[in-house]
Amino acid sequence: MVRSLAGKTLFITGASRGIGLAVALKAAADGANIVVAAKTTEAHPELPGTIYTAAEQIVAAGGQALPLAVDIRDEHQLQAAVAKAVETFGGIDILINNASAIFLAGVQQTPVKRFDLMHQVNVRGSYLAASYCLPHLLKSHNPHILSFSPPLNLDPRWFKHHPGYTMSKYAMSLAVIGLAAEYGEQGVAVNALWPRTVIATAALAMLGGMVKPENCRTPEIMADAAWYLLTRDSSHASGRFFIDEEVLGEEGISDFSTYAVAADQPLCPDLFLD
């Protein structure tokens, strides 16, 4: 059977740029419908891309796009976006919890507003997106929820320098376990995907040069891994924490050199992985 996302409707948070946009474009190439649920409606000087430029790229790639201005911290905006997606495309087949906030600092160096932002976006936003999409996912033939969150590694070194961020991403992962337990038997695959190496996105600029782009991979490795997961039968696996390289390896892909930003440069491993 040919694997494809043709005709599927994907609700992707934070899809105006980075990994979210890469996943959208990969699905669009199959002819999928993409709901671009993100905040940016006007170009930011440091973070290029808006919901409208993303929609243009998605249509050019072969898909249909519905750009919606959504701050996922606002439950009313999320509810309205889900309703509009169903009205436009007739349902929702896949939720991608991609939107995320990051601030890598210790307890005393993390302002309250940054702590709150990470937990409101990473935890509350992804939890509510799942809650509002689930009534429609349960009607889908092959429903998936895929969150970009890490495996739960309790080594204290992952808490030492940025406990606020770690707590928020691990809470996303705990939600994956909970949702999979609650809805797995009803046919909804709920899984997480995390990159082996740091991914070069515009967000790197917000980290003050901690990681150089030439030591990263491109977002396409996550997009390809996500595509393989989302085109699997939803009964295949749920409650799993996948790593991009491992997913691609299961599909017979062993050469990851094409995903490197710069050839022959050492790659920076991502957080939370031994």
Question: How far apart, in whole angstroms, are the C-alpha atoms of residue 99 and residue 14?
Answer: 4
| Position 26 pLDDT exceeds 90 | yes
241-243 and 189-194 beta bridge pairing = parallel
pLDDT (tens digit per residue) in 62-120: 999 999 999 999 999 999 999 999 999 999 999 999 999 999 999 999 999 999 999 99
Q: What positions carry a catalytic annotation?
A: 165
**Angle ∠(245,12,14) on CA atoms, nearest 5:** 90
- Cβ burial of 16 (10 Å; 0-12, 13-18, 19+) is buried
Separation of alpha carbons 48 and 260, rounded Å: 21
Residue 127 has pLDDT above 80, yes or no: yes
pLDDT at res. 204: 79
Question: How high is the pLDDT of residue 1?
Answer: 64
Banded model confidence at residue 140, pLDDT cuts 50, 70, 90 = very high
Confidence of residue 152 (pLDDT cuts 50, 70, 90): very high
State pTM to two decimals.
0.97
Domains identified in the chain and CATH numbers: 9-259 (3.40.50.720)
What is the average pLDDT across 132-142? 98
Cα distance between residue 167 and residue 163, in whole Å: 6
Cβ atoms 152, 108 nearer than 8 A: no
Nearest CA to 32 out of 125, 80, 112, 94 is that of 94
Place 45 in a pLDDT band, splitting at 50, 70 and 90.
confident
pLDDT at 65: 98
Overall average pLDDT of the 162-172 stretch? 98
